[in-house]
Chains A and B, each alone.
Chain A
């Protein structure tokens, strides 16, 4: 029987710490989701699945918040990936001068605090005095001067736009790193075989870049499903409830002292994240087609 270089009990300190600070609190949290734990009373009573029944009840708005979260995640993943890929290709092959300057400019929004970004965009997107509508009106595009953050039909998409602006630089950097690892010989061979630019992009770049695309998809899924700060700072879930997402509800439940309900919503999100993570990891395990 093969034995490792260290005895098994060496793992104990790390295991104990992990169990104490991660596993036990997580299980405890899930346990509390079956109670009416709140800040108004010292009593904590077991209430079965009441909190979950409430979350999935059509009378409540939680399913709408869940749908908003999904829309945010899917649209922002698509936008960031497509734009990030375009920018990465542009930086890798299209731009010849000031490449580093462009990289810095594209990455800059990533390092800005979300609150600052939200404050800037709240001002830019103000329908009456904002820079965007002023510009649109000044060039005669009055019809495109919309109520960006206060029209319930477009507010969520405005937030997605701001989040994409802030996050696309990060995706670009990862995809650019992926592009730089693709050997030039593949492109040369494809060229000799008569492949045009689109065919090379489709049959060489995309398959070879798939591991990096999967990584950014994983990161985007996690970010998209856990979105909170940009929504909270830009619209606080409004107008009305039009842009509420799961995390704004979790925040509200905890700030109102309804800890049992808050942990139940968190547990639902945990399951969604786990399922999404599982499928993305399955994708990750697939070999790129050549």
Chain B
């Protein structure tokens, strides 16, 4: 009799486990548990809050979302991590520098490499949440869908028999033609301090194509920016664009917030912006014809590699969490295909997530563009190279000084190297000791 009861119990448990596995959730026996989840403002979308409620309905595990204002987030998180009061899940920006410097994930977070979703995540994205091959976080963010590309006005191009360029010379020819006809070729808002830096760091995949393994060598302090010819060429060409008037006469006082209006009204023919820019412009200026606009890759240095920034807000499970299994269960729940599709469909700011088999919200033309470069893409250097993103605004100042003649392209590269050395020594990076 006892053996029958035991057999029935075992069979029931096995059936239950199978049923749970079928819907993708492993048992955690965590009903009534409350998970604390610390994140910066803007990192938890409304759709995720809704998914959190569904998760609670299914498992009985409540998520206590603790949202901290962005400017205080790192201080609060660091204090909690250092004082042994870490939340069960904490948010953080992925990326090779931040992962170790800001979060010290090897000490503070659990290795999630064996989670069911780990193998499915886009490898470029997963690499930015990994240290020494171990995956520490889930990047639940549209990191692949919107790289900055050159958005152009097809009607203006057609008027002068111009086509989307694939080389710097092609871009220069377009600029010259448009300038000769009284049209501002490119709207480049330098005054914001950050936008014009995109022309340089976004070309990381191009630098990597020219010099394979460059990012790794830079991170190991075995190469420098100032030695790199491809980077010097790109900066020289960027200065050439500014000097020849391609950015207009007021680039230093132009602001990015005006770019949609400028492009919608045809006051400039091109602008460097995320590939969702056209859709955004259509929302802001409904009278425009979205089909009148197209996109092409940044052609400086004759680049033909798609720039991807796979870093973004990422979820880490605290190494000291008493509810680690429940926390992993939550991440597993979020990565169920139907939940990811729900997240995409109910988040206006996202077009996709970095997992296969999901229906993207990108326009067919943009999707075709992304697909065209599926095998010719790479990670931008602000993410792939250490101590690059941390000096973004400083590089912006350098580039402005380059435009005004106070610095030369080679000076800008030396300046980047100098700041990297400084930051690395401050952080006591072993590669710089």
A residues lining the B interface (CB < 8 Å):
36, 38, 40-41, 43, 126-128, 147, 149-152, 236-242, 256-258
Contact = CB atoms under 8 A, between A and B. Distances in A.
Interface stretch (B52-60, B359-367, B393-401): B393-401
Contacts of A36: 426
A119 to B, nearest CB: 12
Interface in B173-207: 190-191, 193
B428 A147 contact: no
A40 B397 contact: no
Given A40-B101, A128-B250, A240 B404 contact: yes
A239 B252 CA distance: 8
B244 interface: no
Contact of B406 (A40, A147, A150, A241): A241
Given A38-B426, A238-B400, A258-B426, A149 B253 contact: yes
B397 A241 contact: yes
A242 B406 contact: yes
12 contacts: A40-B101, A40-B428, A126-B250, A128-B249, A128-B253, A147-B253, A150-B252, A236-B193, A239-B404, A240-B401, A240-B406, A242-B401
Contacts of A41: 426-428
A74 B66 CA distance: 50
B411 to A, nearest CB: 11
Contact of A240 (B191, B253, B390, B398): B398
A128 B251 CA distance: 10
B19 to A, nearest CB: 48
Nearest 8 Cβ contacts at the A-B interface: A240-B401, A150-B252, A40-B427, A128-B250, A240-B400, A239-B400, A38-B426, A150-B253
B407 interface: yes
A127 B404 contact: no
Contacts of B428: 40-41, 43
A237 B400 CA distance: 11
B404 A152 contact: yes
Contacts of A43: 428
Given A236-B193, A238-B193, A126 B253 contact: yes
B101 A241 contact: no
A239 B403 CA distance: 9
A126 B404 CA distance: 17
A288 to B, nearest CB: 46
B101 A237 contact: no
B401 A150 contact: no
Given A41-B428, A128-B253, A240 B407 contact: yes
The secondary-structure label for the interface of chain A is loop
Given A126-B253, A128-B253, A240 B101 contact: no
A38 B190 CA distance: 31
Contacts of B403: 239-240
Given A128-B249, A152-B401, 4 more contacts: A127-B253, A128-B250, A149-B253, A150-B252
Given A126-B253, A127-B253, A150-B191, A237 B397 contact: yes
Nearest to A235: B191
Interface string B388-421: 0010000001101111101100000000000000
B182 to A, nearest CB: 16
Contacts of A150: 191, 250, 252-253
Nearest to B429: A40
A38 B250 CA distance: 39
A239 B190 CA distance: 9
Contact of A152 (B253, B406, B426): B406
Contacts of A149: 253
B111 to A, nearest CB: 24
Contacts of B427: 38, 40-41
A284 B397 CA distance: 42
Interface in B137-196: 190-191, 193
A147 B404 CA distance: 12
Contact of B401 (A236, A239, A257): A239
Nearest to B419: A256
Contacts of B402: 240
A240 B426 contact: no
A256 B101 CA distance: 13
Nearest to B250: A128
Contacts of B400: 238-240
Given A238-B193, A239-B404, A240-B397, A40 B250 contact: no
Nearest to B406: A240
Nearest to B78: A39
B304 to A, nearest CB: 31
A152 B407 CA distance: 12
Contacts of B253: 126-128, 147, 149-150
A99 to B, nearest CB: 40
Interface in B244-268: 249-250, 252-253
A130 to B, nearest CB: 9
Contacts of A152: 401, 404, 406
Contacts of A40: 101, 426-428
A151 B400 CA distance: 11
In this complex, the member of A40, A41, A239 whose beta carbon has the largest number of chain B beta carbons within 10 angstroms is: A239
B36 to A, nearest CB: 24
Contacts of B397: 237-238, 240-241
Contacts of A258: 426
A147 B426 contact: no
A86 B191 CA distance: 36
Interface in B76-112: 101
A68 B365 CA distance: 51
Contacts of B404: 151-152, 239-240, 242
B252 A147 contact: yes
A72 to B, nearest CB: 18
A237 B190 CA distance: 14
Given A38-B426, A152-B406, A240-B406, A127 B250 contact: yes
A240 B191 CA distance: 10
Contacts of A257: 426
A38 B425 CA distance: 11
Contacts of A38: 426-427
Nearest to B422: A258
A166 B252 CA distance: 25
A245 to B, nearest CB: 14
B101 to A, nearest CB: 6
Nearest to B390: A256
A257 B78 CA distance: 13
A240 B407 CA distance: 9
